[in-house]
Amino acid sequence: MSSLKGELLDLLIAPEVPADDLRRRVLEVLQAPAPSPRMTYEEFLTWADEDTHAEWVDGEVVMYSPAGDQHQDICGFLGAILRAFVETHQLGVVRVAPFQMRLARSGREPDVVFLAREHLQRLKKTCLDGPADLVVEILSPESAMRDRGQKFYEYEEAGIPEYWLIDPDRARVEFYQLDTQGRYAAVAPDAEGIYRSQALPDFWLDVDWLWQPPSLIATQQTLGLI
């Protein structure tokens, strides 16, 4: 901030600077993106709170935009049915954003994560210290490149068995499961639009539920109660 103030002061006191040039340069300085703060992951966890929209990547804080309305609807629906299924069958835990997942070089904040019972030692007070067993990311125009690119390969490298990419704008879902080579392979829903999870045995999802208000019948079917 001090360097920014210094540059603005130099501009204001510079002799014989045309008003238009001065105005344009001041705007350029004010609109220039601020450098991302660098810190350790422990410092990041202390610095960030539940209202901070940020992730930690290779020591750098990466800010992102708040989620939209449809994003929140889908996240809430998936969080609810996954949590109910997992708790009913005592399979582990489900967490929804904001909750950090620490990997080798990053601290990500997926929209929904499932952690299997045999990996519960990874669950800490402030974060998931290690990979989840299932990660769901809901795309937005701002996050699409990051979710499809950098995060895709990070999650694959971390050995996260299952990754769902949900695109509300296109009403499309991509399901990925690790193959025998440790690479993500796309797995399509069946002819009826039903996807069956590998990370959550016996859990199935009708993809159409994501684009319409969830019903009690749909939730009960997912839980195997009817």
pLDDT in tens, 18-73: 666 656 665 555 555 555 567 677 777 676 666 666 666 766 766 665 556 778 88
Q: 225: pLDDT confidence band, cut at 50, 70 and 90?
A: very low
Give residue 54's pLDDT. Answer: 67
Evaluated on CA atoms 200, 78, 127, 147, the torsion sign reads positive
| CB count in 10 Å sphere of residue 194 | 12
- State the average pLDDT for the chain: 81
DSSP string, 180-225: TTS-EEE----TTSEEE-SSSTT-EEEGGGGGS---HHHHHHHHT-
Tell how strand 127-129 and strand 100-102 pair up: parallel
What DSSP designation does 160 have? -
Model pLDDT for residues 121-158, shown as the tens digit of each residue: 999 988 899 999 999 999 987 778 888 888 899 999 99
